[in-house]
Amino acid sequence: MAFNEIIGHSTIIRSLQNSLRKDKISHAYLFFGPDGIGKKLIAFSLAKAINCIDQDGDFCGFCDSCRRIENGVHPDLFFIEPEGQSIKIDQLRDLQASTRYKPYMAKRKVCIIDQVDRMTASAANSILKTLEEPPGTMVLILLATYIDQILPTVRSRCQLLQFSPLSTGDVERLIIDKMALPQDKAHLLASFAAGSFGKAQYLDPAILEEKNKKILFLIEHLYTLKIEEIFTEAKKLAEEKNSDNLQHLLALWIYWYYDIWKYKLTGNEQNLTNSNQIGHIHQQSQLLSYLKIKKNIQLIQNALSALQRNANKQLTMEVMLMKLSTHENRISFEL
């Protein structure tokens, strides 16, 4: 793999390649952005490119240096990640000691520190000392999700590169390529992955499809359920294995209403999360007004907020379904 084979983050990659070609690599980078979108992949790719034997401004993936970095056995590559809940100062001692010596076989030593926003105060101060007196033979690449949890003095001594979520199309391509799933299942996972291939890897298409069936049943039958049936459905929802599962199901439900809203507004089935259910989306867009869709989204969001405050699951679901199915929320063509 070379830089041009990486999916997404083209602007960041071009910037890094320009720096490599001009031999103006920074002594320290801070890559920040959501989890699972490729920060670590590009950090290791940069480490390869800095020390690649065969390429200038890129990496070949096949030379001795690239293969050693890929396999995690390069003597001049350091990779540090949290032990337990945080990165501790003890983990940085080998790194601190190595700054006194020249690279063993590389052009430059490279240290990648993952989840640097989870450093203890003593570890952060230790890194700060390295940044204040950077060795010319070492490049530090810090990876973080939450930049505001990093000391301003650390941030100010790094070149900041903000990573944005991948497009749904890019995540879909990665799923097809890396997970060998058919396009329909890849599209389903990508739609709910929020631009994160890492998140997509933990999603199960079979479970998503099952949850979508539950939601679709409720959307299409909500206004005809009797009161006792509403309580039965509320109990079923509350019996989800844990609160996270229930919150995920409600989040998927909101996606459905957003799809109905977008399709009602544009008549375009592209870029819908549930585009494989366009028949149901079209039907509901004809039956529900914009006002009803907006109210239903708000009711579900209110239930989600209540669950996050550890409210009683069954009572929360009963209240939500009762409000969703009240007369004022029944089928209406009024705007």
Residue 285 sits in the same domain as residue 224: yes
> What are the tens digits of pLDDT across the range 208-254?
888 888 999 999 998 888 999 999 999 999 988 666 788 888 988 99
Residue 290 is encoded by which pair of tokens? 């914009």
Whether 30 is in a domain gets the answer yes
248 belongs to a structural domain: yes
The verdict on residue 191 lying in a domain is no
Which pLDDT does position 243 carry in this prediction? Answer: 67
Give the whole-angstrom CA distance, residue 80 versus residue 88.
10
Position 331 scores a pLDDT of 42
Q: Which helix (H) or strand (E) holds 252?
A: helix 243-266
Could you tell me which residues are beta bridge partners of residue 160? 30
Check residue 231 and give its pLDDT: 94
Asked whether residue 187 is domain-assigned, the answer is: no
Task: Please give the pLDDT value at position 273.
Answer: 82
Q: The domain spanning residue 122 has which CATH number?
A: 3.40.50.300
Q: Which residues of 292-303 are buried (b: 16+ CB within 10 A; e: fewer)?
A: bbebbbebbeeb
Q: For residue 62, what pLDDT is reported?
A: 94
Determine the pLDDT at residue 248.
83
CA-based nearest residue to 52, from 108, 13, 96: 108
* Whole-number pLDDT of residue 99: 79
67 and 160: one domain?
Answer: yes
Amino acid 42: pLDDT: 97
Q: Taking the model in full, what pTM does it have? A: 0.77
Domain end, chosen from 115, 140, 164, is at: 164
Q: Which amino acid is at 316?
A: T
92 by Cβ neighbours in 10 Å (0-12 / 13-18 / 19+) ranks as buried
> Which of these three, 110, 133, 164, is where a domain ends?
164
Shared-domain flag, residues 32 and 160:
yes
Q: Is residue 186 part of a domain?
A: no
Q: Which two tokens stand for residue 238?
A: 């509350």
Residues 153 and 214 in one domain: no
Q: Which residue among 164, 184, 213 closes a domain?
A: 164
Indicate whether 145 and 283 sit together in one domain: no
Asked if 246 and 126 sit in the same domain, the reply is: no
Q: 275 and 145, same structural domain?
A: no
* Domain contains 316: yes
Q: DSSP of 91-133, one letter per residue?
A: GGHHHHHHTTS--SSSSSEEEEETTGGGB-HHHHHHHHHHHHS
pLDDT of residue 28: 96
Note whether 225 and 297 are same-domain residues: yes
Identify whether residues 158 and 251 lie together within a single domain.
no
CATH number reported for the structural domain that contains residue 233 in this entry:
1.20.272
Any domain includes 73: yes
Domain that holds residue 133: 3-164
User: In sequence order, which residues have a C-beta less than 8 Å from that of residue 281 and are 6 or more positions away?
Assistant: 256, 259, 260, 263, 269, 272, 274
Within this chain, do residues 71 and 146 fall inside the same structural domain, yes or no?
yes
Number of domains in the chain: 2
Asked if the structure places residue 178 within a domain, the reply is no
Query: CA of 132: how far to CAs of 95, 126, 140, 183, in Å?
Result: 15, 10, 12, 49
- Predicted pLDDT at 235: 93
Q: Are residues 90 and 138 in the same domain?
A: yes
DSSP E strand boundaries for the chain: 28-32, 77-80, 109-113, 138-144, 159-162
Residue 21 sits in the same domain as residue 144: yes
How does pLDDT run along the chain (335 residues), one tens digit per residue?
Answer: 799 999 999 999 999 999 999 999 999 999 999 999 999 999 999 999 999 999 888 999 999 999 999 999 999 999 999 988 899 998 888 788 887 888 999 999 999 999 999 999 889 988 998 898 888 889 999 999 999 999 999 999 999 999 999 998 999 999 999 999 988 888 888 888 888 999 899 888 888 888 888 999 999 998 888 999 999 999 999 988 666 788 888 988 998 999 999 999 999 887 788 888 899 999 999 999 999 999 999 999 999 999 988 899 999 999 999 999 875 444 443 33
